[in-house]
């Protein structure tokens, strides 16, 4: 379930992914990983301050990594075509048979239309994260 708060301007999505936290981490920190579940092309420089560029079907998003804690956490800015900039924070906790992923999106600018944008983020990122889960679980044989 997603949670939205109009004052904090935040959306949180969670997924239990039947794959290792290392595989989930790699999906966010390599061009190949991004392309498997999210986009047609990606340029990834997985280091603090490293650039991220995602391209798919005429859509571009640019960002910069702010946290890289192998197999535990990733954070990056996200500036998509025609969208207000956001910060994405992904935390990973490996359990016995799956990885618990908490995916938090925070608005970086005050937006009067946050509820509408939050619904868009829930839909688009929700669909992408469902695809991530399906791709990784297929690779893991889950």
Say what the pTM is: 0.90
**Domain residues of the chain, as ranges?**
3-140
Cβ-defined contacts of 69-78 (< 8 Å, 24+): 70/22, 70/25, 71/20, 71/21, 71/22, 71/24, 71/25, 72/21, 72/25, 74/25, 74/28, 74/29, 76/28, 76/52, 77/108, 78/105
pLDDT at 142: 64
Would you identify the CATH topology of the domain 3-140?
Answer: Alpha-D-Glucose-1,6-Bisphosphate; Chain A, domain 4 (3.30.530)
Q: How many angstroms separate the CA atoms of 136 and 80, rounded?
A: 25
Confidence of residue 7 (pLDDT cuts 50, 70, 90): low
Encode pLDDT of 123-133 as tens digits: 999 999 999 99
pLDDT at 111: 67
Q: What mean pLDDT comes out for the span 78-95?
A: 95
Q: What mean pLDDT comes out for the span 73-97?
A: 95
pLDDT at 121: 94
Kind of pairing, strands 99-107 and 86-94?
antiparallel
Q: How many angstroms separate the CA atoms of 88 and 102, rounded?
A: 10
pLDDT at 3: 46
pLDDT at 113: 83
């Amino acid at each position: 379930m997603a949670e939205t708060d109009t004052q904090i301007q935040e959306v949180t999505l969670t997924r239990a992914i039947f794959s290792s936290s290392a595989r989930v981490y790699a999906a966010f920190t390599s061009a190949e990983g991004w392309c498997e579940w999210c986009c047609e092309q990606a340029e990834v420089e997985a280091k603090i301050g490293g650039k991220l560029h995602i391209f798919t079907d005429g859509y571009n998003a640019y960002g910069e990594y702010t946290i890289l804690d192998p197999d535990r956490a990733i954070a990056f800015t996200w500036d998509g075509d025609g969208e207000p900039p956001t910060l994405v924070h992904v935390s990973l906790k490996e359990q016995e048979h799956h990885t618990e992923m908490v995916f938090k999106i925070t608005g970086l600018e005050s937006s009067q239309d946050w509820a509408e944008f939050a619904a868009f983020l829930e839909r688009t990122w929700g669909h992408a994260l469902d695809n991530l889960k399906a791709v990784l679980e297929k690779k893991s044989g889950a």
